[in-house]
């Protein structure tokens, strides 16, 4: 029996062990990154967002935006169960967003269409956290509009000036 055989098997085992350690380390790092991204919530990356924002802005003519007026974007309707234990109540909400003239209308529509799922998802979760008492009455509707406006601007234009000027209710019905 050759005395080198156990050492060769040992070296092979050591290489195999190191290969397993490397693979497990890479998998753990990838999993950690994926979990961090999922807990951070959906958000457009800052670099991607700033490049996209530059492309969205309307061309300037003599220092003013080509279209001096803001434009409007209809967000698809959202239905959410309100937070009232023991009672099933639904809020049906249809919104129109007033967008600043600084954003080119054609490019802006494409951008908003692309991100409408993010907005409707956030809106559904937000409405599902409201009890009926906080979802009725003029003062509450104004507060809800303000929360939606702030959240949408933060989601779409983080670290930038807000380009959604107003959130308008086309319909707000509780059934």
Half-sphere exposure of 64 (CA within 13 A, CB side): 5
Q: Please state, in angstroms and rounded to a whole number, the distance separating the CA atoms of residues 76 and 41.
A: 21
Burial of 144 (0-12, 13-18, 19+ CB in 10 A): buried
Parse the chain into domains and list their residue ranges.
1-41, 46-174
Is the separation of the CB atoms in 155 and 123 below 8 Å?
no
Does the pTM surpass 0.95? The reply is no
What tens digit of pLDDT does each residue of 138-172 get?
Answer: 999 999 999 999 999 999 999 999 999 999 999 99
How does residue 86 score in pLDDT terms, banded at 50, 70 and 90?
confident
Start-to-end Cα distance in the chain? 86
Least Cα distance to 112 among 129, 95, 128, 92 occurs for 95
In the sheet that 71-81 helps form, which strands lie side by side, from edge to edge?
A: 71-81, 90-99, 164-174
Least Cα distance to 127 among 94, 153, 91, 95 occurs for 91
Q: Please determine, for residue 47, whether its predicted confidence score (pLDDT) is greater than 70.
A: no
Task: Tell me what pLDDT residue 107 has.
Answer: 96
Average pLDDT over the chain, rounded to an integer:
78
To which CATH superfamily is domain 46-174 assigned? Answer: Band 7 domain (3.30.479.30)
What tens digit of pLDDT does each residue of 13-46 get?
Answer: 666 555 554 444 434 344 344 333 434 444 444 4
Is the separation of the CB atoms in 174 and 91 below 8 Å?
yes
């Amino acid at each position: 029996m050759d005395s080198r055989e156990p050492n060769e098997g040992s070296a092979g085992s050591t290489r195999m062990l190191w290969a397993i350690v490397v693979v497990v380390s890479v998998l753990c790092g990838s999993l950690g990154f994926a979990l961090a991204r999922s807990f951070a919530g959906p958000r457009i990356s800052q670099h991607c967002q700033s490049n996209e924002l530059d492309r969205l802005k309307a061309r300037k003519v003599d220092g003013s935006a080509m279209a001096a007026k803001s434009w409007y974007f209809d967000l698809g309707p959202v239905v959410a169960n309100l937070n009232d234990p023991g009672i099933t109540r639904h809020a049906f909400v249809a919104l129109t967003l007033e967008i600043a003239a600084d954003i080119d209308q054609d490019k802006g529509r494409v951008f908003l269409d692309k991100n409408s799922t993010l907005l409707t998802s956030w809106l559904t979760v937000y409405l599902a956290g409201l009890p009926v008492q906080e979802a009725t009455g003029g003062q509450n509707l104004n507060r809800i509009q303000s929360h939606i406006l702030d959240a949408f601007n933060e989601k779409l234009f983080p670290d930038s000036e807000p380009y959604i000027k107003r959130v308008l209710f086309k319909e707000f019905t509780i059934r």
